[in-house]
Each structure stands twice: as structure tokens, then as C-alpha cells.
Amino acid sequence: MASNDPSAAQATSKAVSDSPEVEPGQIDEGQDVEVDGQKFDEMRTVFQDPQTFNVKHPLYSPWTLWFDSPSTKGKTLPQTPSTSVPPTPGGVPPTPGALSWMDDIKRLIKFDSVEEFWGLYNNIIPPSRLPAKANYYLFKDDIMPAWEDASNKDGGKWSVQLPKEKNRARIDDMWLNTMLAAIGETFDPALAKSDKDSTAPTPLSLISGVIVSSRPQFYRISIWTRLAPGIAANTPNLGESEEELRQRIETIGKCFKTEVLGFQEAQRLGGPLATEVEFASHKEGERKGAKGKKWII
């Protein structure tokens, strides 16, 4: 029921008169707007029509999701093409059986748009419901989730291990945020700050993939990088110094811990079944039984 109180009418009138004018680009509710019906019919985003949208938002790079679990072991899966198995450093043939575990990893889907990512994410089992010893591997382009891949052999990984019972309610969001940061290229500020019109070379994208692993008593999330500190001096045409590379990798680790996982930078995470957010090169990891140097954030 409308109010007959003069003071209410005056207050309403004053509020309207004091309101700011319509900002540039905004539309006044009373303004008539002409819409090209044909163009509107031709362009439908996922936000307008989740079922029959025809406008995609491309990602910077295509990504492939891989999966393995106890249920895939020994099953008939598409074999890894022999041509995709890169030689080990120095031209030494791969150790027999070194990549045989790749035969148990299933390539689920390759996508290159925001819409395809969400379609995939909404139709797979979240990490909190994965069986023990199951893994999701999300890798850029056609990079294989293996140390021996040419894009990984000189790199390393940031990783964190979290007790399962304490983090079961959070792991799905942690993994989603990790994937979004990877496909959105927000882990590495050097890429976002690069000037496309500049004559300087565009920085190499350091992120090659991200992994989530479910184990009987803990979860592990990892971010794989193409390079590791100490490799810049042996990488011609890298375009940045060893210190610049180290700073970029450190920034990735800090972003992972604070913005993606939601911890404070100074917060200590280590404890029973838990580790700090730590970095180690793949070459250190190849040395079985040896405890390599780890970089902790």
C-alpha cells in the first residue's frame, strides 16, 4: 500500500534528485534501446544459454586432463605413442620400464576454452571422492605428466601434502583454485605484465601442469614448472638471469600457498602427514633414496 505521509514523499523525491547521473556505458531504465535481433540470435554465451551457447572464451593454451587409479592398472587403455616418449638427457635411451607406468594413465579430454573446462569439471569426480592412489594430472598443450618429457626434464615442482581428515572439506576448492590459476596463467605475474607490443621476448610460461593425488591418509597438490633454479645458465636464449628465474619461481610458490590454498605466508603447515609448501627439482627427485635440497615457502 502506498504511503500518504508527505515526509516520505519528500524523502523519496530528494533521494531521486540526489542520485548520480547515469555513468557512461550504463543504460537508463527508461531509455529505449535498439537491439540487432539477428546478431543477438547468432551470439549466445554460456551465461545466456548453458545448453546451446555458441560463443567460447579461449584459453591462452590448450590443456589435457589425465587420470589414473587402482581401477586403471593393467586395463586396456590407449597406449602412449612411442614417438611421444622423449629421450633422456644426454641422448641416453630411456631405462626399460621407466615410462611403463604411463600405460596405466588415461587421457580423459583436451580442451581450450573456459566453457569446455567447466563442462569437464562439472562431470568428473572431485578429489574428495577419489579412491586412494588415484591422481588427476592437468597439463598444458601436449606435455606428458612425466619427468622425462622434454618440457619437464629441466624443471621441478611446488608441492604440499595435507592430512586427509582435516582437509577433506577443503580439498575440492583447493584443487579447483589450482586449476583455475593454471589455465588462467595467474600463477606467474611476469606473463600478465608482459607487453605484447614490446620488442622484448615474451617470458617463457613456466607452468607445465598441476596434479592432485589422493592417498590413504593424505592429499598432495603439485605444480610442475618447466625450469628449476640452477638451470638458467645452461639454457641459451632464456631471456632472463638466474636470479630473475628464481624470483619468478618463488612468486609462483607464494601465490600457490596464499592465494590458491588460502594459507598465510608465514604459517607453518608441517606436522603429522603434512608438509610445508616446498619446491624440488625433478633431477633431485630422480635420485632414489637421496634427500635433495628443498626450497620451503
Cell 632472463 belongs to 240
Q: Is the pLDDT of residue 203 over 80?
A: no
Residue 130 lies in a domain: no
Q: How high is the pLDDT of residue 237?
A: 57
pLDDT band at 13 (very low <50, low <70, confident <90, very high): very low
What digits encode the pLDDT tens for the residues 76-122? 544 443 333 333 333 333 434 445 667 789 999 999 999 999 999 99
Is residue 177 one of the residues assigned to a domain?
A: yes
Whole-number pLDDT of residue 280: 94
Classify residue 19: in a domain, yes or no: no
**Neighbouring residues of 255: CB distance < 8 A, sequence distance ≥ 6:** 181, 186, 187
Residue 208 within a domain? yes
Question: What CATH number does residue 185 fall under?
Answer: 3.30.760.10
In a 13 Å sphere around the CA of 50, the CA atoms on its Cβ side amount to 3
Nearest to 141 by CA among 204, 229, 219, 233: 204
Query: Is residue 256 assigned to a domain?
Result: yes
Top pLDDT among 287 and 71 is at 71
Interior angle at CA 254, CA 253 and CA 258, nearest 5: 120
pLDDT of 188 reads 86
DSSP 3: -
Residue 162 has a CB neighbour count (10 Å cut-off) of: 20
Distance CA 149, CA 221 (A): 20
Tell whether 218 is covered by a domain: yes
List the domain range (segments joined by +) for residue 217: 136-195+203-296
Residue range 13-39: average pLDDT? Answer: 43
| Overall domain count for the chain | 1
Q: Percentage of the chain surpassing pLDDT 70?
A: 63
pLDDT band at 194 (very low <50, low <70, confident <90, very high): low
Mean of all residue pLDDT scores within the chain: 77
Domain membership of residue 238 (yes or no) is yes
Lowest average pLDDT, out of 43-57, 201-215, 268-282, goes to: 43-57
Looking at the domain assignment, is residue 171 inside a domain? yes
- DSSP category for residue 94: P
Distance from first CA to last CA of the chain, Å, rounded? 62
